[in-house]
Structure 1
Amino acid sequence: MQKIKIAFLLLSLLFVFSCSKETAKPDQAFDAEKAFATANEQMERKEYEEARTSFFEIRNRDLTKKYAPLAQLRIADTYIQEEEPDRAVEEYKRFLEIYPEHKYASYAQYQVAMIYFNQIESSERGYGAASKALAEFEKLKQMFPRNPYRDILDARIEKCKDILADYEFVVGTFYYNKGSYDAAINRFQALLQKYPGFRKEPEVFYSLASAYKKHGNKDKASEYFKLLIEKYPNNNLVPEAKKELSPGKK
């Protein structure tokens, strides 16, 4: 009798369990498309922290992987809107690590470059920002040759180079005025090699020639005074260069 009761109890439990399986409703599937639209609406309302939370959820729960990459990009975008460029760079770079072949990878790379580029005007970060921006722009050009930013890319690369060259010229001039002619010569020579066509090239030629003269190397001094005259005959430094080359000049 006891065995029958136990068997009946087991059958009852199995019946209840099977009924519960039939009547229980499965969890609703996560609607990534709807969640993405909602998160974008939060962005439009400038609710950046709330939007970021929504994008994080999409990134982690989107099983289709259609909206997860877009959510990762938008996470970075929220930091741009909140003026947190360093965190934005981290998130754009995370996107590039996870989705290097994605159709918006060039956008992420461009955003990284532009974050540094927009810091150039700041005097305390100008040189460092220009150096980083140049590296990121050149990476964009190399990795994504058909990127949609080609029309403006070269101009921004040239601006970065111009700032870096200007910095080298300032440092070289500092060494020259200090009497450290070897250091000045090295800076001016490196500038000419790394940044050909620099807008202050005539001044660099003149300063380099003067540094060689102070250093006692008259042949190299004459070489750069002549180069200045030949390449920039109408420059206002040419009369001074000609005086330096005159026979009576010591």
Structure 2
Amino acid sequence: MACAALPLLSGCSMFNSQKEKPSVAIGSADTLYNNGIDALRTRRYKVAADQFEALQQNYPYSGYTANAQLMEGYAYYLRNKYPEAAQQLDRFIELHPTSPDAAYAFYLLALCYYEQIGAVSRDQQMTAEAMARLQDVIARFPQSKYARDAQLKIDLCRDHLAGKEMLVGRYYQQQRAYQAAIGRYQRVLQDFQTTNHVPEALERLVEVYLDLGLTDEARRTGAVLAYNYPDSRWYRYTYDTLKSYKLLTDKTPAPGKLVTAPKTEAAGTTASPAQSAAHNVGRADAPPSLSSAPVSPVSSSELSSDGGGSALTGNLGHSGVPASARGARTGAP
């Protein structure tokens, strides 16, 4: 009987020890919030996220809860935990759509997608998602201090997407899949005409048209390039290529020579490639009714001055050597 009683006594002892174990004390709502803020200031982002999460779980109706939700999303963002940050910010926006901090929440949510944009050679779904979120910031809070930065980042996203089209177009061109290459280059002209990739797209179209024997299309596309980008290196390449094919005319301007705008153009305006086509300055197969970009383009000083693409694309968007530079054409066929 004594032996039989030992397991019972042992079980009671274990039960009593567990029962007597003190629970972890949870600080007050303001203590948890201030601890989280202090952790953010000292760059202990995981600790900050844990403090804000504990506040929400233990004090769901506290006056600090809304701020804790937003700051937890910010802490995840600083840790590069973008999916977790986006989930937390979505929750804040859903629960507090009229909060004074809603503009910041929408902007930070857009940055969570913007920071995940990959190289031009990879899938650009995240770029498209980032653009949509940034456009949402501008549409909802056009007068906020975040709208201007969102507008700049939209332009960089567009440049990134154009760089992707150029990368694929160059691949098709190298594989002699000319129709597919033309489609990619034309999309740059139609959908991304405010980006730095347009001059190269026009030059590549001239190359493809010449490879296909479409000399009239090549000449017209060269005219569009001359009218819009007379000082660009891409027009110099095109000029040399057309010269080697004996396709230059008396009306073909030399590189660097400014082409006079048609009289129908308002003074001080710069026509897009599509607008040039509408005035019979060249077609490049771009519809004349093409609308402009959804937001105003950034100034040239905010992008690379040498036409090498945005900070996102770097030199990837303009890699490859034109035909005129690689010596592929030495004369007419």
Superposition TM-score tier, normalisation by shorter sequence: 0.7 to 0.9
Whole-Å separation in 2 of the counterparts to 1:116 and 1:238: 38
Shift in CA distance, 204/46, structure 1 to aligned 2, threshold 3 Å: closer
Shift in CA distance, 125/227, structure 1 to aligned 2, threshold 3 Å: closer
Whole-Å separation in 2 of the counterparts to 1:227 and 1:204: 11
Unaligned runs of 5+ in 1: 1-29
Q: Which residue of 1 aligns with 2:193?
A: 196
Whole-Å separation in 2 of the counterparts to 1:232 and 1:45: 50
- 1:200-221 Cα offsets, whole Å, 9 max, x none, are 3222112112223334444332
Shift in CA distance, 49/166, structure 1 to aligned 2, threshold 3 Å: closer
Q: Which residue of 2 aligns with 1:63?
A: 61
Q: Give 1:110 deviation, angstroms.
A: 1.5
Q: Which residue of 1 aligns with 2:170?
A: 173
- 1:127-173 Cα offsets, whole Å, 9 max, x none, are 44433322221121112212222343332222221121111111111
What's the secondary structure of 1:149's corresponding residue? helix
Shift in CA distance, 42/204, structure 1 to aligned 2, threshold 3 Å: closer
Shift in CA distance, 153/49, structure 1 to aligned 2, threshold 3 Å: closer
1:103 aligns with 2:87: no
Whole-Å separation in 2 of the counterparts to 1:123 and 1:226: 29
How do 1:224-243 residues align onto structure 2 when only pairs under 5 Å count?
224-235=221-232, 236-243=236-243
How do 1:204-223 residues align onto structure 2 when only pairs under 5 Å count?
204-223=201-220
- 1:5-56 Cα offsets, whole Å, 9 max, x none, are xxxxxxxxxxxxxxxxxxxxxxxxx964454223323444555445434323
Aligned-residue sequence identity (percent) comes to 26
Shift in CA distance, 82/234, structure 1 to aligned 2, threshold 3 Å: closer
> Aligned to 1:145, which of 119, 142, 146?
142
Unaligned runs of 5+ in 2: 1-26, 250-330
Contact 1:62 1:68 in 2 (8 A): yes
What's the secondary structure of 1:197's corresponding residue? coil
Contact 1:73 1:108 in 2 (8 A): yes
Greater share of helix residues, 1 or 2?
1
Shift in CA distance, 80/233, structure 1 to aligned 2, threshold 3 Å: closer
One-letter code aligned to 2:51: S
One-letter code aligned to 1:63: Y
Q: Which residue of 2 aligns with 1:7?
A: none
CA-based RMSD of the aligned residues comes to 2.9
1:41 aligns with 2:38: yes
Q: Give 1:226 deviation, angstroms.
A: 1.8
Contact 2:172 2:181 in 1 (8 A): yes
Q: Give 1:193 deviation, angstroms.
A: 0.9
1:52 aligns with 2:62: no
1:161 aligns with 2:158: yes
